[in-house]
Every structure is written in C-alpha cells, then in structure tokens.
Chains A and B, each alone.
Chain A
Amino acid sequence: NAGVTQTPKFQVLKTGQSMTLQCAQDMNHNSMYWYRQDPGMGLRLIYYSASEGTTDKGEVPNGYNVSRLNKREFSLRLESAAPSQTSVYFCASRTGGSYNEQFFGPGTRLTVL
C-alpha cells in the first residue's frame, strides 16, 4: 500500500496563477483532509471531506476550493495564488473505529512569488 500520495512535491507559482494539488489514498478511508503548515506553526485545516460527495470548510478556507472526485481522491485548487498561500500543504485520510487516526501524505511545498 502506498498510503497517502500527493503531487506535485514542489511547485513555484506567480501571483495570480492557478493550480490544483492532487491527493489520493489507497486505504479505503471515508474521510480526507487538507492542511497547510506555515513556518513555526502547527497544521491548520483548510477543507475536509467526511465522505465521498461531501466537503466542508475548515479553519482557513479562503482562497481555496476542493473536489472529492471519488473515494480515493481529494484535490485542492488555488484559483488565483497569492504570496500568503506560500506554505507546505498536507493531505490526510482517516481511519474509522475508536481511534479515528489520521495518516498524512508527504506534502507539497508551494511558493508563490
């Protein structure tokens, strides 16, 4: 099992450009999440999807959109990138049961110039 995979690993954008970050999981998890991590800070939730076909805003959703394409894939789109969106983006998926443990992808390091 690959677990949670993300593409691309690195990306540089100019202000105003758009791009989509891709995330896929092969663990048959229902719930998936997008976080951003800024230097010296913990992760902050951007959007999440509790199940296929549903998405909800997290703590910092402004400037982002998401699509839960199917059970495996959850993408994050920046329509018009801004320097404030320079960050490392992590996707995660969650087990069920009592632990509800989240497993994280390797991250995408995004720089907006």
Chain B
Amino acid sequence: ELKVEQNPLFLSMQEGKNYTIYCNYSTTSDRLYWYRQDPGKSLESLFVLLSNGAVKQEGRLMASLDTKARLSTLHITAAVHDLSATYFCALGGATNKLIFGTGTLLAVQP
C-alpha cells in the first residue's frame, strides 16, 4: 500500500528559529510536491521536486528530495509568523494521481 507520512503533525516554533518537516513515502516515484494551505483556504503549490538530490529554495523555505531514502524535507530558516500554515507533501503516483501526507500544522509564535 502506498503511504505518505509526515512528521511532525504539529509544530510550534518561535520566530527566528530553524526547523525541518519530514516526508517519508513507501514506494518509488519521480515527483514529490509540497503545498501550503492557510486556514479555510485552498492549496498553494510551493515546490515540485523531480529527481534524486533535487533542492529548491524560495525565501525561508527549502525543499529537498532523496529518492533512495524515500524522503523529502522542507526546511524552514529563521521562521516568521507569516509562515504559519499547514504544509502538505504529496507523491506523484500512477497517472499523476497525488497521494497526500496528513499535513504538518506549523504555528510560529512571536
């Protein structure tokens, strides 16, 4: 069974701190996606990772992919309150169906 697991499920962090969200998956895939969701809103695409060793950065967020370990990480540098949201990773499966992780609720405290 294809599984995508994120941890932690909830993360409370102080402004200015660094932290990493982990996304483990159970089968090989050639695409890994990261999305952001604000409360009551839709999903916003953050990163698309296509190959082993891929690293992408946008502002304070950096995503990486290790296909051999079946692991993707989303690293947050010097967190600010505006980054508070739920973050999802999703695996691109057969016929481009997405399998989502359960999400990580990030709360950045002043």
User: Residues of A at under 8 Å CB distance from B?
Assistant: 31, 33, 40-45, 48, 50, 56, 58, 90, 94, 98-107
Contact = CB atoms under 8 A, between A and B. Distances in A.
Contact of A42 (B45, B48, B97, B102): B102
B50 interface: yes
A101 B33 contact: yes
A78 B88 CA distance: 27
A99 B50 CA distance: 7
A33 B97 CA distance: 8
For the complex of A and B, list the 7 residue pairs with the smallest distance between their C-beta atoms, beginning with the closest: A42-B100, A104-B43, A43-B100, A104-B42, A100-B96, A99-B48, A106-B42
Contacts of A43: 43, 88, 90, 98, 100
A99 B96 CA distance: 10
A3 B88 CA distance: 21
B75 interface: no
Interface in B72-92: 88, 90, 92
Interface string B43-71: 10100101000000000000000000000
A31 B95 CA distance: 10
A43 B37 CA distance: 11
| Residue from the set A33, A43, A94 with the largest chain B CB neighbour count within 10 Å | A43
B95 to A, nearest CB: 6
Given A99-B48, A101-B33, A56 B95 contact: yes
B29 to A, nearest CB: 11
Nearest to A31: B96
Contact of A41 (B45, B96, B98, B103): B103
A50 B95 contact: yes
